[in-house]
Amino acid sequence: MAKPAVTDKKGQKPAGRLYIKTYGCQMNEYDSEKLAAILEGSHRLVDTPEEADLILINTCSVREKPQHKLFSLLGELKPLKNKNRDLLIGVGGCVAQQEGENIVKRSPVVDFVFGTHNLSLVPSLVEARKNGSPPQVAIDYRDEWEELPLGFSGAERVSVFVSISRGCNKNCSYCIVPVTRGKEVSRDINEIVREVKLAAYRGAREVVLLGQTVNSYGLDLKPRMRFAELLNKVSEVDGIERIRFTSPHPQEVRDDFIDLVADNPKICRHIHMPLQSGSDRILKAMNRNYRRRRYLAIIDALKERVPDIAITTDIIVGFPGETRQDFEETLDIMRRVQFDNSYSFVFSPRPGTPAASMDDPDPYELKLERLKELQELQREITAGRLSAWLGKEVEVLIDGVSTSDKNKLQGRTSQNILVNLNQQTPELEPGCFIKARVTECSRYTLRADFVELIEAVQSKRPPAANLQF
């Protein structure tokens, strides 16, 4: 069984100074948190690379020119390395997984490379390099769940990520993830629940379950397990009042999942379900194993069962061969669903994926025009969706100070909408649940008046005895 992360003893700050640069998705953020926890006994986190004696770069290869980004950052770090001969630099994440040895061949400042399944090896890679070994490369696909510490290092936080699976079996034709993260491997349910309990013990009120396709969780386990069963287990953890997850895949949505979202009050009223395209022809070319009818049927069922649900999505514009008609079908589905928000990008070919070698005659400018058109439509829809909250009372989980005014607090609704409070509220602190009345909406956020405290911070924190490690 994995052990909880080692915590500093009072007055004994670790001597090492660790700086982590994270690119990409929430999974990478989670991995960076694990790296900090793995090294917690020997290194404390610092805010700038200049202060560090160990720099870890956690790379992402989902978008364009990731290698370019990495090597330009390594170029910027070269003067630091020249100045401090003890400084070690390690490169991890998806680019590391793909490029492996090429990285150390191309950049002499890199001391070691670690793949997406080799986080737990970082301390030994550091030691080997300190002891004079040549630059190290560790990129084997290993099942390292058991070797990772539970939880995260550093200060308490209201919302934490908990990974439930790694890798993906879907093979969408544009996506490099199955190469960089390997086959889908589900994490043991008891480990997940322990990590959630530990998070609750350390003050978290919300967990965000992470996986490439969260709702295929457990299909590789023996005996098989369903995602809905995992959600039920997690919702039994005292102190955790909100559960989010990202991202479900339309192909794996079952009725028991929709029932659970509707019936379990801890499951947030927000689903982020990638659409990618509204055209069946393009969905087929993308190897997305659902069609628009199925996607719309899921949305209809969710909206019928959970009328206040927020739906967000991902969309790729300008996939090879996308015609105006295909694009219109995407706009049409956006109008029908009324997404609360969407993350949209122009298609970016990833070397080594089937889509990268597809015939793609359309110029980038045309694709960019389409993207702008789609984003304009999304802005209109988002504005309409947000303005529907005006005058209503919402439940907000306070998560910190407002970025626009350091004297006021902010939080999120169950629909994952950011709410800035109008008043200074010294009686509140992160981790409280409050009722607030919406007074204003801006492009992506709401402003609201504090109405009343629903639940204070400490009232449900579970006792340490409940952790049962």
Nearest-angstrom CA–CA distance, 20 and 332: 42
170-189 positions binding ligand SF4, by CB under 6 A: 170-172, 175, 177-178
Distance of closest approach, residue 134 Cβ to ligand SF4, in angstroms: 34
Total number of residues that touch ligand SF4 (CB under 6 A): 10
The secondary structure of residue 433, as a DSSP letter, is E
Residue ranges in 295-334 that form contacts with ligand SF4 under rule CB under 6 A: none
In the complex, least distance from residue 77 CB atom to ligand SF4, rounded to whole angstroms = 30
Given a contact cutoff of 8 angstroms between Cβ atoms, the answer to whether 153 and 36 are in contact is yes
- The rounded distance, in Å, linking the Cα atoms of 395 and 453 is 10
Cβ proximity to ligand SF4: between 157 and 249 the closer is 249
Coil, strand or helix: which one is 173? coil
Q: How far is the CB of 63 from ligand SF4 (least distance, A)?
A: 13
Cα–Cα distance for residue pair 436/447, rounded to 1 Å: 9
By CB under 6 A, residue 253 contacts ligand SF4: no
Is 95 or 381 the residue whose CB approaches ligand SF4 more closely? 95
Contact 193, 234 (CB under 8 A): yes
Least distance (Å) between residue 211 CB and ligand SF4:
9
In angstroms, what is the minimal distance from the CB of 176 to ligand SF4? 8
Residue (198 or 333) nearer to ligand SF4, CB: 333
Nearer to ligand SF4, 213 or 279 (CB): 213
> Of 187, 249, 367, 385, which one interacts with ligand SF4 (CB under 6 A)?
249
The secondary structure of the chain in percent helix, strand, coil, rounded to multiples of 5, reads 35, 20, 40
CB distance 314 to 274 below 8 Å:
yes
Site string for ligand SF4, 210-239 (x = CB under 6 A): --xx--------------------------
Whether a cis peptide bond, with omega within 30° of 0, leads into 426 is no
Q: In whole angstroms, how close is the CB of 262 to ligand SF4 at the nearest point?
A: 25
Using DSSP's 3-state secondary structure scheme, residue 42 falls into coil
Q: Is 388 helix (H, G, I), strand (E, B) or coil?
A: coil
Torsion on CA atoms 318, 320, 324, 328, rounded to nearest 10: -60
| Rounded Cα–Cα distance for residues 5 and 41 (Å) | 9
Q: How far is the CB of 168 from ligand SF4 (least distance, A)?
A: 3
Kindly list the residues in this chain that would bind ligand SF4 in the complex (CB under 6 A): 168, 170-172, 175, 177-178, 212-213, 249
